[in-house]
Amino acid sequence: IYRRDPNYWAANLPSRRGMFHFDRIVFKLYLDQYTKLEAFKAGNDDVDREYSATQWARKYVGKNFDNGLLKKETFPDGPAQMQSFMINTRKPEFQDRRVRHALALAFDYDWMNRMMFYGQYTRLNS
């Protein structure tokens, strides 16, 4: 638990105006993502971050979302997240560029994004 210091020296500086209005901030640590999600859905936490498109699309539902107590919102202007497949090119079967190119051609990104990730991802070209 972090508590606001009532004697904070910069509290009245113009650059600090409108900031740091919390009296306390509590960080809760959960042993697994499912417990964390259920605690959030029950209204026990104020903020939750989700990195799984499947979880976001299918698990953030329930009475507290229906009655407006919880709101599901994205912030697209933040830092971009990335998920990817990595190929170990030290293995002989992946050292041939043509094999890696064939795997890329066989990978149906559009289908996977639509069927598995609920259309939430944007493909990078790199």
Mean pLDDT is lowest, of 18-22, 88-92, 96-100, 118-122, for: 18-22
Residue with tokens 């960080």: 27
Nearest CA to 49 out of 72, 80, 19 is that of 72
Could you tell me which residue, 30 or 21, shows the higher pLDDT? 30
For residue 79, the model assigns a pLDDT of 65
- Place 78 in a pLDDT band, splitting at 50, 70 and 90: low
- Say how far apart CA 26 and CA 1 lie, in whole Å: 5
Q: Domain segments of the chain: what residues?
A: 2-66, 82-126
Evaluate if residue 125 carries a pLDDT over 80. Answer: no
Measured distance CA(122)–CA(110) in Å, rounded: 10
